[in-house]
Amino acid sequence: MGAGQPRLGILGGSFNPPHLGHLLIASDVCAYLGLEKVLFVPAARPPHKTIDDDTSAEMRLEMTRLAVAGDPRFEVSAVEIEQGLVYTLDTVAAVRQTFGGHRLSFIMGSDSLLQFRTWHQPEAILALCRLAVALRPGDDEREVEEVARGLGRGRAVVLKTAMIDVSSHDIRNRVRRGDPITYLVPPAVEEFVAARRLYR
């Protein structure tokens, strides 16, 4: 992969709902790695977990589009939902078909890196992209760096991105309790959740 290639980041997730933590990580990785764009890819059906609250793929896709609207660095892809993709390898391969001239970085948290060897065909994933790893609070930085080095030179880069202690699970619980989610999600997402009475 040539140094002059445009660089594209891929950020997958359930995005149920998308929150400011997702946007912060995408923004930092974009800046640190000189990415032209970050592609947000809502999951159709993640292999490691179920979609809580039975939120439809279409609603999660719409919330993700609302979350990134107005930032030219961010774009949303429905490739997993439209093609029913389950594994990261298939997602990265599908993105490569569309963005063939780009150098790809798959963005993940350090907790995911620590489990990466258990993923479906990890070596095949690394043949298509490098891993951009956001260090999560509570994870041992030395352990994460060691795992990244163990994947091979240049195949994973560990980044100290801005982190806020927020998760989609916590946001759903706040909605259920009637607590505000202002400043945890973009305003358009907050309005969507309220209008559709999600997570109640």
- Which pLDDT tens digits describe the chain residue by residue (200 residues)? 456 789 999 999 999 999 999 999 999 999 999 999 999 999 987 655 566 677 999 999 999 999 999 999 999 999 999 999 999 999 999 999 999 899 999 999 999 999 999 999 999 999 999 999 999 888 899 999 999 999 999 999 999 998 788 999 999 999 999 999 999 999 999 999 999 999 99
Helix (H) or strand (E) holding 119: none
pTM above 0.85, yes or no: yes
Residue 96 phi, psi (nearest 5)? -60, -35
pLDDT at position 137:
80
- Tell which residue, 46, 76, 39, has the closest CA to residue 61: 76
The encoded tokens of residue 162 equal: 């801005």
pLDDT at position 1:
46
- Give me the residue spans of the domains in the chain: 7-163
Point out which residues pair with 38 in neighbouring strands: 9, 74
Residues 6+ apart with CB under 8 A from 84: 44, 45
pLDDT at position 2:
53
User: Domain 7-163, what architecture?
Assistant: 3-Layer(aba) Sandwich (3.40)
Rounded CA separation 190/200 (Å): 13
Inter-residue contact 85 to 95 (CB < 8 Å): no
Helix runs in the chain, H state only: 20-33, 57-68, 79-83, 88-98, 110-114, 122-128, 141-150, 168-177, 187-195
